Amino acid sequence: MSNPQLVNTFTSIIAAITEGKLDELDPLVRYDIIDHNLILGQGDGLPGLKYWARTMRTAMPDLTAQIHDTVSETNKIAARVHWAGTHTGELLGTPPSDSYLEFESFYILHFSDGEAVEWWDVSDTRDALRSLHRRVRILEARNSLDRSAVGY
């Protein structure tokens, strides 16, 4: 694949995830893709990638992504993706907070015959989750105070 083709395919993968059109991943990602960073509950291959995407979209139904800093070579692309959305569903064990979250992920995808066959990623969710946990603790404390004020 040429560099523009790699960027276009990667862009299409990210678009399918953010738009929730996961069937559009079928021609872009090999069924037995190897994901080197599975989340809890995620299985292998394309079904696992779709599980991850559904998990993200359930947690943040208005999920958006902006692709930055793509670097590609013969059969690999590296990119930084800025994700954002409103946290209205459970995310990695954290209950919904209705907070707007932003975080970045760094990806390397390996392609063969036009399909993604390996996927590496690192997400900088620490600050987003830390912020969420602070907000959840504040809400729990506020609810506890509200209950004690009315004699619960």
Q: How confident is the model at residue 21 (pLDDT cuts 50, 70, 90)?
A: very high
Residue 35 sits in a domain whose CATH number is 3.10.450.50
Please check whether residue 145 lies inside any domain of the structure.
Answer: no
Please check whether residue 40 lies inside any domain of the structure.
Answer: yes
pLDDT digits (tens, 9 = 90+) for 58-111: 999 999 999 999 999 989 999 999 999 999 999 878 889 898 888 899 999 999
Please tell me the predicted confidence (pLDDT) of residue 134: 59
Tell the burial category of 40 from Cβ atoms under 10 Å away from its Cβ (0-12, 13-18, 19+).
exposed
Range of 39's domain?
Answer: 3-124
Q: How confident is the model at residue 135 (pLDDT cuts 50, 70, 90)?
A: low
Alpha-carbon dihedral 39, 47, 116, 80, rounded to 10 degrees: -30
Total residues belonging to the chain = 152
Please check whether residue 142 lies inside any domain of the structure.
Answer: no
Q: Which residue has the tokens 């993968």?
A: 13
Phi, then psi, of 25 in degrees rounded to 5 = -75, -25
Please check whether residue 77 lies inside any domain of the structure.
Answer: yes
The share of the chain scoring above pLDDT 90, in percent, equals: 64
Phi, then psi, of 44 in degrees rounded to 5 = -85, 165
Please check whether residue 130 lies inside any domain of the structure.
Answer: no
When pLDDT is averaged across residues 126-150 and rounded to a whole number, the result is 60
Domain count within the chain: 1
